[in-house]
Amino acid sequence: RFITVHHGPVELIETFLDQLPQDLPPDTVTTLFLFLQGVLETFRRAVTQAHLEVEDLEEAMFERRQPEHVQQLAQLRRRAAHLHRAFLPYAAVAQEILVRRRMTDHHLSQERQAMNRLHEHT
């Protein structure tokens, strides 16, 4: 069973829940990896959206700078800082799990090794 806390549009959490397999994962480690992967994808989408908004705003500022553009840019920077601060604990937990699993279990399955590499890469 999961308890999740979500901040943002409901569609994001619904999309994440839809991506979970219908059958239960074989063990808790796989479940944790799936959950962490969903978190990572949510952050990626948020960061991509923020980048697109910055690009649109910069284009608008080059065409015709208006006072509200500076305020919007400041808001986007605050959002980026908020996303970064929120992401740091996730990254620390994921790294701790990867390091601990690698140190304690030298006979990981191919699937788990692939998940480890995926998270280390991102």
pLDDT value of position 106? 62
Angle, to 10 degrees, between the axis of helix 10-19 and the axis of helix 28-63? 140
Determine, yes or no, domain membership for 90. yes
Q: Evaluate whether 43 touches 83 at the Cβ level (below 8 Å).
A: yes
Cα separation, 86 vs 99, in Å, equals 21
What 3-state class would DSSP assign to 15? helix
Per-residue pLDDT 10s for the chain (122 aa) are: 555 565 666 666 666 667 666 666 677 777 777 777 777 777 778 878 888 888 888 888 888 878 888 888 888 888 888 887 887 787 777 777 766 665 566 666 777 667 666 666 65
Which domain covers residue 69, as residue numbers? 10-121
Q: Evaluate whether 101 touches 94 at the Cβ level (below 8 Å).
A: no
Largest interatomic CA distance in the chain:
60
Determine, yes or no, domain membership for 109. yes
How many structural domains compose the chain? 1
Determine, yes or no, domain membership for 4. no
3-state helix, strand, coil in the chain (%, to 5): 80, 0, 20
Determine, yes or no, domain membership for 1. no
For CA atoms 44, 50, 54, 55, the dihedral sign is positive
